[in-house]
Structure 1
Amino acid sequence: MTRRATLRTTHGDPGIVAGALEPDNTASMRTRVEGDELITTIERDSTGGLHATVDDYVVNVTVAETVIEATRTHTDTNHE
C-alpha cells in the first residue's frame, strides 16, 4: 500500500523555491506551482519512509526560503 502526503506552501515566488528544491527531489515526489503556492505530493511505500521524506522536504523548503531571502536582502542592500 502506498502512503501519500501533499504539502502546500505559499511563497512570494514559488517558481524560484521549486527550482532550488529540484536537485533534492526524488522520483517519489511531484511538484507543481499554482499561483503563489508550491504543491508537492510525496508517495512512499512505508509510513516511516513518507515521514522521513516529508521531514527532509520541510527542512529543504525552510533552507531555500532563507537563502532566497538572504540573497534578496544582500542584493537590495548593494543597490541602494
Structure 2
Amino acid sequence: MSRRTRIESTFDDEGTARQVAATLRPDNTPEMETTVDGTAVVTTIERETTGGLQATVDDYVVNLQVAAQLTTTDGETSTTTTDNNE
C-alpha cells in the first residue's frame, strides 16, 4: 500500500505560481507531480513507505520555501501551505 499527500500552496497571482512550479519541477521524483491551478501550486507525492513520504515532503517544503523567496523582493516567503490530509 502506498502513501500519498497533496500539498497546495497559494500565491498572490498566477504568474508567481507558475514561476514557483517551474522552479520546483526539476527536483520532482517519478512519484511526484506538480501542477498550477490558478494562483495555487499543487503537488501530489506518493511513496511506498511513511518514512519515504515524510523525507520527500520535508525536502519539498524546503525547496518550496526557497522558490517562494526567490519570487519576492523582500526575501520573505509569500505562500500559504494547506495540508488537506488532516
What's the TM-score once normalised by structure 1's chain length? 0.83
User: Shift of the alpha carbon at 1:22?
Assistant: 1.2
2:20 is paired with a residue of what secondary structure?
helix
Q: Which residue of structure 2 lines up, in the alignment, with residue 39 of structure 1?
A: 42
Higher helix share: 1
* Superposed CA RMSD: 1.1
**Count of aligned pairs:** 71
Q: Which residue of structure 2 lines up, in the alignment, with residue 64 of structure 1?
A: 67
Ranges in structure 2 where 5+ consecutive residues have no aligned partner: 75-86
User: Shift of the alpha carbon at 1:68?
Assistant: 1.9
Q: Distance in 2 between matches of 1:57 and 1:35?
A: 20
Aligned pairs for 1:14-33 (under 5 A) are 14-33=17-36
Which protein has greater RCO, CA pairs closer than 8 Å, 6+ apart?
A: 2
Q: Which residue of structure 2 lines up, in the alignment, with residue 78 of structure 1?
A: none
Which structure would you say has the larger Rg? 1
Q: Which residue of structure 1 lines up, in the alignment, with residue 58 of structure 2?
A: 55
